[in-house]
Each structure stands twice: as C-alpha cells, then as structure tokens.
C-alpha cells in the first residue's frame, strides 16, 4: 500500500498542508510548512494547537497503516503541548508501540525545524477492519457521485 499517496488524496491534509514524507513498517514521518493561516495569533505566527494535533494524528495514522496495510481510524489521542510552534515548519515522527488484532498504539513526537520538541502524543487506532466497506470505498455513504468516478 502506497501510504504517502493515500494521504495525499485526503482533502483535509491538502487543505491544511500536511504531507507524509515516509511511512514503512510501523514508522512514519510527516511535515507541515507553517503559514499565517495556521496561527492562533493575529499578530505573530504561533501554530494553533489544532494544527499540531492534526499533524500528530495524521502521522500516527500513517504509521499504523504502514504496519497493517489497511484503513485505521483514530480511536483516541492524547497530546502534551511542550512549546509553541513558531518556526517555518513542524515535523512529526510516529512509531507503533503495539499493533494488535483490533487496536494499535502509536507514539508521536512533533518538533520544529531546529529539533525542539513541540509536542508528544500517544494515539490508539482501530485495526482489523475491512477497508472494502469503509468511507474510502466507492459508493460509500456520504460520497458524492462526482467524487467516486
């Protein structure tokens, strides 16, 4: 499964600017180039916590998908914000701590371009499903006809 390509197709990732740069064997890396639109402050660039969370969750999901080679929805994620994201880029690395038949656990570290830790997160993702009957399936509920062609 080409995880990087799959994540490029996600409308949310395109809108926010999240890119998966590597995903293989339970490990994933990703990035977001910070822009003024990602800021929680009107006067200076300080990444909104939701941007940091979205990056951590997306890269965590990519790590699990690379391990199980199937769709893995998020069950839960806990994040600790350690420093504000004020630079040009945020990077994330995720590693599967455990991959079970029904749940995977992932540890994620978010840093800036200088290597400063901005956040750490631990996520749980559903495994063992069947992506042929998921939101990614053609004809799935909520998919408009022009999108499924």
36-49 pLDDT per residue, tens: 899 998 988 899 99
Residue 135 CB: number of other CB atoms within 10 A? 11
Is residue 139 included in any domain, yes or no?
no
Is residue 24 included in any domain, yes or no?
yes
Is residue 142 included in any domain, yes or no?
no
pTM, entire model: 0.87
Question: How many domains does the chain divide into?
Answer: 1
Residues contacting residue 3 through CB under 8 Å, at least 6 positions apart? 20, 23, 24, 28, 62, 65, 66
| CATH number, position 86 | 3.10.129.10
Is residue 127 included in any domain, yes or no?
yes
Domain encompassing residue 84 = 3-131
Is residue 146 included in any domain, yes or no?
no
Is residue 32 included in any domain, yes or no?
yes
Cα–Cα distance for residue pair 149/128, rounded to 1 Å: 27
The SS3 assignment for 146 reads helix
Residues in the chain: 149
Is residue 41 included in any domain, yes or no?
yes
18-71 pLDDT, tens digit each = 999 999 999 999 999 999 899 998 988 899 999 999 999 999 999 999 999 988
């Amino acid at each position: 499964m080409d995880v990087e390509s799959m994540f490029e197709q996600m409308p949310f990732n395109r809108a926010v600017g999240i890119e998966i740069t590597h995903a293989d064997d339970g490990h994933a890396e990703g990035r977001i180039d910070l822009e003024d639109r990602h800021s929680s402050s009107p006067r200076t660039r300080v990444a909104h916590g939701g941007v940091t969370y979205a990056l951590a969750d997306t890269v965590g999901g990519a790590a699990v998908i690379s391990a199980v080679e199937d769709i893995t929805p998020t069950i839960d994620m806990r994040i600790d914000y350690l420093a504000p994201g004020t630079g040009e880029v945020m990077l994330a690395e995720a590693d599967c701590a455990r991959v079970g038949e029904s749940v995977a656990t992932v540890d994620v570290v978010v840093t800036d371009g200088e290597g400063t830790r901005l956040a750490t997160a631990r996520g749980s993702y559903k495994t063992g499903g069947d992506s042929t009957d998921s939101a990614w399936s053609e004809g799935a509920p909520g998919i408009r006809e022009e999108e499924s062609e």
